[in-house]
Structure 1
Amino acid sequence: MTLNMRTFFTNPWLLPVLSGVFIGTSFIPFPPWAAVFCFIPLWIFWEQQNSLKNIILSGVLTAFVFTLIGFNWVTFLLHEFAHFPWVVAGLGMILFALLAHLFVPIAGALWFVGCKKGLYSGWQSVLVMGLLTALVL
C-alpha cells in the first residue's frame, strides 16, 4: 500500500501534529531545520476552523507533540534526580507536555477572537497570527 500526500492530509488534525513534529525536531540536539516554517501547518488548520474549541485543542495538540519530542529529557531528569520510578516519570512528562507550552493555544485563541470581532482579515489576519505566535514564545 502506498501512502501519498493527498491521503495523508485527509484528516485535518494531522496538520497540528505535523507542526508539533517540525517544532520538536528543531530543538537541541537537532538542528533548527524547521524553525522558519514550523507553525505554518498549524496556521493553515486555524484558518479552516470556525470554533474556538478546535483552535484551543489544536494548539494544545501541537504543544503536546513538540514538548514530547523536544523536551524528552524531562522524563530522565524526573527519574534520575527526583528518584521517581519510570512510570511516574513518564506520567510527569505527559503532565509537563500538556501544561508547559500553553502559549500556543493562547495565541490561537487571541487570533480567533480578533478575527471574529472583525479586527483584521485577509493578509492582516495572517500577519497577526504570526506576530501573536512569535510574541508569546
Structure 2
Amino acid sequence: MGSLYQPRSLLSLDKFAEKPLILLRRAMAEEKHHHHLFHRHKEEEEENSGEVDYEKKEKHHKHMEQLGELGAIATGAYALHEKHKAKKDPENAHGHRIKEEVAAVAAVGSAGFAFHKHHEKKDAKKHGQN
C-alpha cells in the first residue's frame, strides 16, 4: 500500500533518467572521431594544411574591418545622443556624461580595431599577390 501514496511519475523518472545516459555512452564509444560543435575540420582544410589561403584571410579581415567601422559609427552616435540628453536633462546630467564618455572610448577602440584590420587586410593582399 505504500506505493499508492507515492506519485507514479517519480517512480518512473528514475528508469528514464538512466536510459539516455546509457545510450549516450554507447554512441560515444562507437564513434571513431569526436568533433566539437564549433571546431569541425573540413576535408579541404585537412588536404591543404600547408597552404595559406590569403584570399580568404583578406576577405575575413575586410569583414572585420567593416564591423569595426560599424561599431565606431554606432558608439559615436550613442555618445552624441548621451551628450544631447545631458543638456536636456540637467537633473541626471552626470550619469549622461559618464555614458557619453564610455561610448566615446568604445568608439575610439572600435575605430582602432578597424584600423588594425585594415592593415592586416593590406598585408594579406600583399602576400596573396606574391
Same fold (TM over 0.5): no
Indicate the structure (1 or 2) with the bigger Cα radius of gyration: 2
**Greater per-residue helix proportion:** 2
Q: How high is the TM-score relative to the length of structure 1? A: 0.29
Q: How high is the TM-score relative to the length of structure 2? A: 0.30
